[in-house]
Amino acid sequence: MCKKLIKYAISHNAARAGIFPLFLRQTITTVPDIIQLLSDHIANQIAAGEVIQRPASAVKELMENAIDAGATEIQLVVKDAGKELIQVIDNGIGMSPTDARMSFERHATSKIRNISDLFTIRTMGFRGEALASIAAVAQVELRTRIEDMDTGTRLVIEGTEIKTAEPVATAKGTNLMVKNLFYNVPARRHFLKSNTTEFRHIIDEFTRIALAHPGIAFRLFHNGAEQFHLEAGNLKTRIVNLLGNSYEKNLVPVEETTDLLHIRGFIGKPEAATRTRGMQFFFINNRFIRNAYLNHAVMNAYEGLIEKEAFPFYVLFLEVDPSKVDVNVHPTKQEVKFEDDRLMYTYLNAAVKHALARYNIAPSLDFSLSAEIQQLPSVQLPSTQQNREDVQKGYLFNNFTQKGQAHFIDKNDGLKHWQELYAIAKQPGSSDNAISLPSQPTLHADNDDPANSKNALLVQGSMLLTTVKSGLMLIHIRRAQERIWYERLLEEWNSGNTPSQQLLFPITYETATADALLLTEALPDLARIGFDIAPFGPKTFIIQGTPTALPSGEEKNLLDEVIEQLKHGASDAVNNKRSEILLTHVARRLSRNKQGIHQPEAQQALIDELFACTQPEYTPDGKRVFTIIRREALDEMLG
């Protein structure tokens, strides 16, 4: 409709210039008119500003088009964080020669035919604007072919104008290249952030789209290096492939159906929560959204299970009747309003609590209190054998009594003991506050503190045994060191004041071309953990200093490993998790050194340092550092 308007206005303009009768022209010239009609090109450029703000917005639009076209394989190729090139290749239905031309017209869409489509489909954001907007601010080259035709179409478009249109031999599907984004809008081009930042935005979009479509295979190349290679699979494999293998063991499934909505997805175990936000995704009807209120519903379910500053992982898909939500379809916003958001909150909160409880991570708390929650089918259903087995393998199972099992939700019993369970869940391994968490100010006054016990026993060279009020405490030395190093490095990282052990003989370090960029980008972060590395040629670096306590000869190995970690955690790395990867890995590496642990002073120092940590009970990746063998258990053993 709008397009017609523009056309009309253009012909009207033309009329002014000559077709109108003379008397009219005279009125036009005698009364000064000041309204000018913007050219198509300028109008498109202005509109483009709304839709395409940065390379990542173009990535999103192009990938969504590929999905809409029914593609089962989608490749994203990016150069210079999308500033030079964004290319999306799909094996979808492709376009006929006419459709190919049409697709770049503003308000040209194949996805809305009538007003009823408009109602259900508007939540998907079809506006027929994306390609027109992109073509207004970049040089575009399209190759596309539909299955029924032998030849495809090639179009080259610059500043909205079709420069070339010709038949071409090309694979079925669409291959769209967007070059030199904002080449004709210098102010916008200038406004773009560093490559690292822009590429991070691209990965964010890529990740969201890949999570929402696990049945589609995706690949992402940046400057010639493959960053992601995601096979088609299910949500779980998709999460693991995107976010890293370490997620696998930490995923807890969520699945609830209510009259209002269907919730499915995965949440992270509390111990996998991280210090940086990032791995939190809501999808409403398969579209990524942000919503602080729903986020609160999830966070609330974790209350008491994670530290205040920690962020749990979640990927949750909410399906709602589209008439009950108002998704703001503005392409750059991801906001949403619900008809009944309080009920949404309650359901979501219950679903997360319930998932944690089923997997025996948290006691089920107030399940017996809320009628809504009791209605959830999975509250009513008996647990499956698989659930039971999973639970029995778990750590908490072995620490809770059968009756206290959070999993066995007994409506009548109503979990009278939840408070007690809760206390235990917060302090795994401690039954009667034998160890206060260091966050509690009583720690050092408490003569129960293992740091006060002077005699530790070295067991098999790898564990320390010491006494505490409630029994015996067994500490895993390497893991304890890992925790200590992690917190030390974290502190240095945060203070920006990291000592570096300077090498007497700097070491030359060669990388693969693909890794050079990764390493270059990581240099400032590496400096924050004590690496002093200088670039020296395109793929060569000079290691001048390393984190303190790194045994000599280990420099290259550690760097190799770090690069490997960064590659596998590529998505983490760009979601501000690079610190997490670096710190965890380097801490693990440094913790291998058990030198001197035979000396009682070293043992005591280790215990002291461990319990000065904010999180002594787990390693950064969630393994237990120590356990307590309770007095009663010892008595029992001895009959």
Q: Tell me how far CA of residue 365 lies from CA of 57, 306, 405, 416, in angstroms.
A: 43, 16, 12, 9
C-beta closer to ligand ADP: residue 169 or 457: 169
Site string for Mg ion, 279-318 (x = CB under 5 A): ----------------------------------------
C-beta closer to Mg ion: residue 63 or 464: 63
β-pair partners for 325: 338
Nearest CA-CA partner of 468 in 456, 458, 482, 459: 456
Give the torsion through C-alpha atoms of 578, 85, 148, 112, to 10 deg.
80
Phi and psi torsions of 104, nearest 5°: -90, 0
Helix/strand/coil for 155: strand
Shortest separation between residue 109's beta carbon and Mg ion, angstroms: 7
Shortest separation between residue 539's beta carbon and Mg ion, angstroms: 39
C-beta closer to Mg ion: residue 112 or 343: 112
Shortest separation between residue 64's beta carbon and Mg ion, angstroms: 5
Shortest separation between residue 462's beta carbon and ligand ADP, angstroms: 57
C-beta closer to ligand ADP: residue 109 or 123: 109
C-beta closer to ligand ADP: residue 48 or 239: 48
Q: Which of residues 125-154 bind Mg ion (CB under 5 A)?
A: 130
Pick what 533 binds: Mg ion, ligand ADP, none; C-beta below 5 to 8 Å, kind-dependent.
Answer: none
C-beta closer to ligand ADP: residue 131 or 344: 131
β-pair partners for 623: none
Shortest separation between residue 554's beta carbon and ligand ADP, angstroms: 49
Residue 414: CA atoms inside 13 Å, Cβ hemisphere, count? 6
Shortest separation between residue 148's beta carbon and Mg ion, angstroms: 23
C-beta closer to Mg ion: residue 58 or 130: 130
Helix/strand/coil for 348: helix
Shortest separation between residue 176's beta carbon and ligand ADP, angstroms: 6
CA–CA dist 65, 59 (Å, integer): 10
Q: Tell me how far CA of residue 363 lies from CA of 213, 300, 304, 519, in angstroms.
A: 33, 14, 11, 44
Shortest separation between residue 281's beta carbon and ligand ADP, angstroms: 22
Pick what 110 binds: Mg ion, ligand ADP, none; C-beta below 5 to 8 Å, kind-dependent.
Answer: ligand ADP
CA–CA dist 66, 72 (Å, integer): 9
Shortest separation between residue 274's beta carbon and ligand ADP, angstroms: 35
The token duo for 59 is 């990535």
C-beta closer to ligand ADP: residue 129 or 555: 129
Site string for Mg ion, 79-118 (x = CB under 5 A): ----------------------------------------
CA–CA dist 111, 253 (Å, integer): 34
CA–CA dist 196, 190 (Å, integer): 15
Q: Are 260 and 351 in contact (CB under 8 A)?
A: no
Shortest separation between residue 88's beta carbon and ligand ADP, angstroms: 7
Q: Which helix (H) or strand (E) segment is 262 a member of?
A: strand 261-268
The token duo for 615 is 């999180």
* Alpha helices (runs of H) in 286-358, residue ranges in sequence order: 292-301, 341-358
Pick what 192 binds: ligand ADP, Mg ion, none; C-beta below 5 to 8 Å, kind-dependent.
Answer: none
β-pair partners for 628: 473
Pick what 175 binds: ligand ADP, Mg ion, none; C-beta below 5 to 8 Å, kind-dependent.
Answer: none
Pick what 468 binds: Mg ion, ligand ADP, none; C-beta below 5 to 8 Å, kind-dependent.
Answer: none
Nearest CA-CA partner of 611 in 470, 460, 446: 446
Type of residue numbered 189? R
Q: Are 278 and 242 in contact (CB under 8 A)?
A: no
Pick what 92 binds: ligand ADP, Mg ion, none; C-beta below 5 to 8 Å, kind-dependent.
Answer: ligand ADP
Phi and psi torsions of 150, nearest 5°: -80, -35
Shortest separation between residue 106's beta carbon and ligand ADP, angstroms: 8
C-beta closer to ligand ADP: residue 103 or 546: 103
Which among 61-69, 276-284, 575-583, 621-629 is the span making contact with Mg ion, rule CB under 5 A?
A: 61-69
- Which residues touch 552 (CB under 8 Å, ≥6 apart)? 503
CA–CA dist 444, 561 (Å, integer): 38
C-beta closer to ligand ADP: residue 113 or 556: 113
Pick what 129 binds: Mg ion, ligand ADP, none; C-beta below 5 to 8 Å, kind-dependent.
Answer: ligand ADP
- The footprint of ligand ADP (CB under 6 A) covers 61, 65-66, 68-69, 90, 92-95, 103, 108-111, 126-132, 174
C-beta closer to Mg ion: residue 59 or 435: 59
Sheet holding 287-289, edge to edge: 251-257, 261-268, 314-320, 280-284, 287-289
Pick what 69 binds: Mg ion, ligand ADP, none; C-beta below 5 to 8 Å, kind-dependent.
Answer: ligand ADP
Pick what 135 binds: ligand ADP, Mg ion, none; C-beta below 5 to 8 Å, kind-dependent.
Answer: none
Q: Tell me how far CA of residue 153 lies from CA of 25, 109, 420, in angstroms.
A: 44, 18, 70
CA–CA dist 595, 327 (Å, integer): 59
Pick what 291 binds: Mg ion, ligand ADP, none; C-beta below 5 to 8 Å, kind-dependent.
Answer: none
Q: Does 57 help bind Mg ion (rule: CB under 5 A)?
A: no
Interface with Mg ion (CB under 5 A), residue from 44, 45, 57, 65: 65
Shortest separation between residue 52's beta carbon and ligand ADP, angstroms: 11
The residues of the shown chain that bind Mg ion, judged by CB under 5 A, are 65, 130
